[in-house]
Amino acid sequence: MKIYNTLSKRKEEFVPLEPGKVKMYVCGPTVYNLIHIGNARPMIVFDTVRRYMEYKGYEVNYVSNFTDVDDKIIKKANEEGVEASVISKRFIEECKKDMAAMNVRPATKHPLATEEIAGMLEMIQTLLDKNHAYVAEDGTVYFRTRSFKEYGKLSHKNLDDLQGGNRALLVSGEDQKEDPLDFVLWKPKKEGEPYWDSAWCKGRPGWHIECSVMSKKYLGDEIDIHAGGEDLVFPHHENEIAQSEAANGKPFAKYWMHNAFLNIDNKKMSKSLGNFFTVRDIAEKYDLQVLRFFMLSAHYRSQLNFSAELMEAAKNGLERIVTSVKNLKYLLENAQQETLTPEEEALLKEADGLREKYEAAMEDDFNTADAISAVFELVKLANTNAGADSSKAFLETLLEEIRTLTDILGLIVDKEEEILDADIEALIADRQAARKAKDFAKADAIRDELLAKGIILEDTREGVKWKRA
């Protein structure tokens, strides 16, 4: 399996640190608003990477954070006159609903920045002890960028170029810094901001430190894959590498994967240009499976342009697969023949070839566009050859094949496979029992499990109500 590594700018063979296991960290959203369709791209892309890895038999430990302390969250909280945590909790819940509706599976762990402050204080102290950081007069702690000799290796920037003319690349220029390249690890609180005690000042972390700490805590010092959108390469991921490698004295992530941007009508998405869509906006018009199909119809490292025409094309493409599955199921219910004919055997060999084609595409740096083409060929083979006189074995194998290959892409093409009402009621009863027993972790786990299946619970005065996303 080949993965394009931003670090080496080449496709490299994937060799996990530990055989059979993948440790993967994906930078998650800052939660101050409903997520937009740009944020949805890394979620869908890396969820698909995870699914493919699992299909290949790897055990994937997938960690993705929510940044729940940040200027934008604080600003919104102050506007509404509530605590920052009210805003972040609200939008984490909303984000989880969108993820479920896009069939993005919950991570193994979704850590929150505000719950990992102790680990951040510890790593900052280690960086101070190792002389990779210093405390300014007002208590701000800065990372001493030049002390990390490999700084710039991910974004392929040269330190002196950064220092020189190109001011746009400077990481802001507070005057207490020893060097304009240094970046904040910890900063003093301002009026009306949440803060934590520390040895240096009452304050809060800089943005980059949380990912270094959460990745270390939940996956270990060295991980296989670190991922996010391409805008994160510099400075965020560059700074994460500097912090982690300077503190741990070990290489951080082996493979760095970055998705390209999603634009709208060939322009950068922006509220002021009026070309801005939340995932919720799209859900008003389309099943979010269509959005997922649209995202995967391009390679993740290609820029993708969102337009009404492309969404319609995605809708039609997905429907073609759904209709084919429906048809195969109908034929299977009515099939008389049990065993394969020699002709069918030959066709199934052809189908095997298409699965190989699909796998080859996925193993070439997750080329989902080509993988989808292989699925379409399979659908065509089914549509042209399956009929009233087909054998059960033939129809079953084709159905299974289409289901497996679309499931890896996280596409639901067979609605009847969804969770039944009775199962939902049973899980809700389990959750109520767990809550009664004050086992809130279990109660939350059940709620998340249901959410992952597209079931949203609402605790009302009349009891628990549920609906499908």
Please report whether residue 42 would count as binding ligand AMP according to CB under 6 A.
yes
Q: Could you give the C-alpha distances from 96 to 203, 337, 354, in angstroms and in order?
A: 29, 46, 34
Question: Of the two residues 33 and 61, which places its CB atom closer to ligand AMP in the complex?
Answer: 33
Q: Shortest Cβ distance from residue 146 to Zn ion (Å)?
A: 22
Helical spans, DSSP H, in 386-420? 392-408
* Closer CB to Zn ion, 44 or 214, in the complex: 214
Judged by beta carbon distances under 5 to 8 A according to partner kind, the member of Zn ion, ligand AMP, none in contact with residue 211 is: Zn ion
Residue 77 interacts with which of Zn ion, ligand AMP, none, CB < 5 to 8 Å by class? none
How far is Cα 31 from Cα 95, in angstroms, rounded to an integer? Answer: 8
Name 119's Cβ contacts closer than 8 Å, sequence gap at least 6.
213, 214, 216, 217
Using the minimum distance from each CB to Zn ion, give the nearer residue, 49 or 211: 211
DSSP 137-180: TTS-EEE-GGGSTTTTTTTT--HHHHHTT-GGGS----TT-SST
- Closer of 269 and 283 to ligand AMP (Cβ): 269
CB of 467 to ligand AMP, least distance (A): 27
Contact string (CB under 6 A) for ligand AMP, positions 244-263, x = contact: ---------------x-xx-
Task: Give whichever of 30 and 324 is closer to ligand AMP, judged by the CB atom.
Answer: 30
Q: Which residue in 145, 162, 134 sits closest to 242, CA to CA? A: 145
Cβ of 129: how many Cβ atoms within 10 Å?
10
Of these partners, Zn ion, ligand AMP, none, which one is at the site of residue 454 (CB under 5 to 8 Å by kind)?
Answer: none
Interacting residue ranges for Zn ion, rule: CB under 5 A: 27, 211
Query: Contact 21/108 with Cβ under 8 angstroms?
Result: no
* Cβ at position 30, least distance to ligand AMP in Å: 4
Binding mask 292-331 for ligand AMP (x = CB under 6 A): ----------------------------------------
Beta strands 59-64 and 21-26, pairing class: parallel
Contacted by 391, from ligand AMP, Zn ion, none: CB < 5 to 8 Å by type: none
Sign of CA dihedral 88, 93, 99, 104: positive
Binding-site member from 71, 83, 161, 231 for ligand AMP (CB under 6 A): 231
DSSP lists the bridge partners of residue 467 as 456
Contacts of 359 (CB under 8 A, 6+ apart): none
**317 contacts which partner out of Zn ion, ligand AMP, none, CB within 5 to 8 A by kind?**
none
- Give the interface with ligand AMP as residue ranges (CB under 6 A): 27, 29-30, 38-39, 41-42, 228-229, 231-232, 259, 261-262, 269
